[in-house]
Amino acid sequence: MTIQRRLTRLAISNTLLFTIVIISAILTGGLVIGQAWFLSQIISRVHLEKADLEQVSPLLVFLITIVIFRAIAVFTNEYSASILSENIRADIREKLTAKVLKLGPAFISQQQAGSLSYTLTGAIDTLDAYFSQYLPQLVIAAVLPLGILAVVFPIDVLSAVILLLTAPLIPIFMILIGKTTETLTHRQYQTFSKMSGFFLDSIRGIAELKKLGRIQDHAVQLDIVSERYRSATMNVLRISFLSALVLELAATLSVAVIAVEIGIRLLYGQIEFQQAFFLLVIAPEFYLPLRQLGARFHASRNGVSAARQLFTILDEPEPRLPAAIRKTSSLFTLPFDIQFEDVSFVYPGRDNEAVSHVTFSIQSGETIALVGLNGAGKSTLVSLFLRFIEPQSGRILYNNQNIQEFSVDQWRTGIAWLDQRPTLFNASIRENLSLVQPEADEKELLEALRDARLDDLILNLPQGLDTQVGENAFRFSGGQAQRLGLARAFLKNAPILVLDEPTSHLDALLETDLTQSLSKLKHNRTCLIIAHRLDTVRQADRVIMLQAGKLVCSGKHDDLLQSNHQYAALFAGESKL
């Protein structure tokens, strides 16, 4: 199905508003014809029959009424189209957001952040021109010329034939030029999308660029990227202006042909004045919708290019879900057993498996440390456990039940996840903590902060829990931000804890302090830890080593040092992985 057909279906699905747009377009067409007819009658009676104001006043009343109703019909058409556009864009935005959330971090990690951000926001808004301008104009262009032809044919066959023969010139030129426009507009959209991503990366990395002394070099790259977008935009505008010139010229020449043939025939008395004047008035109205359609066509191309990207995301296959979801209130009730059974996963676009035929088990209350070099598959294994992605072969079992039989929300309710750098939103401390426990009161929030050893700092802030965290938690140090993430984990109080060694990037003093809080958090919980420090590995009940996505060995740290040379080589002379 083509992009435009899918967009049209979205409009048709809003039945009431789309019907109003069509009906108001038909009424506008009829009123245009009526306006031209009554105007020609008035001019004819005043000019030829020397009628006074009283004699033509009924016609004037009809004309004024038609003008008023035409204005109402045009307003109704434009307003309904605007509301239609808002509804469709809101619906697409909602579906797109839900789709991205379903696809999860695995999908997002493969996208450029700036480009994806623009797709979810600005790209959707570019559809406005398609739904509020182009689509209504397409209806008017289909209705009004046909209506005028139906009226003109009985009045004057020659003029009707000229209209019929010249009318296709405008759509033909529009289609020919439109193919080039669509290619250039798509290129412009892609360039702008890349530029958005480049600018976002530049803002995020400005501190690093300054440290490296590469600001000037990066500024040159910004100029190059901006120039590419300027060039792409100018190419689109060049074609748009050329198209407007061609369409205007075709319409003007066509009207001129009508005017000349009517003038000659009127001069020789072959046509009545009232009919001639009506035809002269209605001829520009015949071509006007087609000319405006050409202008709206170019305005809508950005939306069509954006829709191609939007539908690409909406058509992404979602993770497989079982036909029936198992509901249970006893999930993660002690004791429980979790098994990875011959689990494999390969990322889209890659040949090698990120995780290949991995089998191991986790007993409730046990602490498992995952170790291995970068790219070994540790993060992928954790993503599978958190159900950000689903195994392409094999199963993950909870008490011998496939975890896919439980809803994703139900599964994640029992898991607290703490990354190396926890994501904190540009909101208050209260809002950031309440994400995991929306019904938590202030006492519970302060208790979680106390467990994370951050309560003194927060209580001494002027706004306390209502202090804004800021973009990327810029108001807090790295250790403080890590403690806010830790407080969130305490507040969730989940039976399973998944950690990506949160102390790995901290100095020794902060590490010791945070380790004590982590020890309290891990107490009586089942823990799965991506380990980067030797101390963490030593404290684990069991260590699992991955290499190139495959499980190399599993057991206690001291035992593996003696029994497995690959494991021993990994830790040779190292205190930090």
The pairing of strands 393-398 and 367-371 is unpaired
What pLDDT score does 575 carry?
A: 47
Round to whole Å and give the CA distance between 162 and 156: 10
Q: Which residues contact 156 (CB under 8 A, 6 or more apart)?
A: 271, 275, 279
Are both 371 and 293 inside the same structural domain? no
Within a domain: 319 = no
Q: Is the pLDDT of residue 563 over 50?
A: yes
Are both 299 and 352 inside the same structural domain? no
Indicate the burial class of 211 (C-beta count within 10 angstroms; 0-12, 13-18, 19 or more).
Answer: exposed
The 10s digit of each residue's pLDDT in 212-255 is 777 888 788 888 888 888 888 888 778 777 777 777 888 888 88
Within a domain: 324 = no
Are both 284 and 349 inside the same structural domain? no
Are both 310 and 350 inside the same structural domain? no
From the list 160, 136, 171, the residue with the least C-alpha distance to 283 is 160
Average pLDDT of the chain is 83
Within a domain: 48 = no
Are both 458 and 542 inside the same structural domain? yes
Within a domain: 43 = no
CATH assignment at residue 308: 1.20.1560.10
- Mean pLDDT over 74-85 rounds to 91
Are both 115 and 225 inside the same structural domain? yes
Are both 395 and 526 inside the same structural domain? yes
Q: Is the pLDDT of residue 461 over 80?
A: yes
Given 271, 299, 314, the domain boundary residue is 314
- Mean pLDDT over 386-393 rounds to 87
Within a domain: 82 = no
From the list 497, 479, 576, the residue with the least C-alpha distance to 535 is 576
Number of structural domains the chain divides into: 2
Are both 355 and 454 inside the same structural domain? yes
Are both 478 and 378 inside the same structural domain? yes
Round to whole Å and give the CA distance between 488 and 476: 16
Domain of 144?
Answer: 88-314
Asked if residue 414 lies in contact with residue 338, where contact means CB atoms within 8 angstroms, the answer is no
Asked if residue 486 lies in contact with residue 452, where contact means CB atoms within 8 angstroms, the answer is yes
- Mean pLDDT over 274-296 rounds to 85
The 10s digit of each residue's pLDDT in 488-535 is 888 888 899 998 866 555 555 556 667 777 888 888 889 999 988 888
Are both 305 and 343 inside the same structural domain? no
The 10s digit of each residue's pLDDT in 343-375 is 999 887 788 889 999 999 999 989 999 998 888
The 10s digit of each residue's pLDDT in 152-201 is 899 888 888 988 888 887 777 777 776 677 777 778 777 877 787 777 77
CATH assignment at residue 371: 3.40.50.300
Asked if residue 293 lies in contact with residue 141, where contact means CB atoms within 8 angstroms, the answer is yes
Q: Is the pLDDT of residue 288 over 90?
A: no
Are both 509 and 546 inside the same structural domain? yes
Asked if residue 495 lies in contact with residue 414, where contact means CB atoms within 8 angstroms, the answer is yes
Within a domain: 238 = yes
Taking CA atoms, 114 is separated from 188, 192, 202, 321, 423, in Å, by 16, 10, 10, 30, 17
Within a domain: 347 = yes
Round to whole Å and give the CA distance between 217 and 535: 43
Are both 221 and 135 inside the same structural domain? yes
What pLDDT score does 329 carry?
A: 59
Round to whole Å and give the CA distance between 286 and 135: 18
Round to whole Å and give the CA distance between 287 and 293: 10
Within a domain: 537 = yes
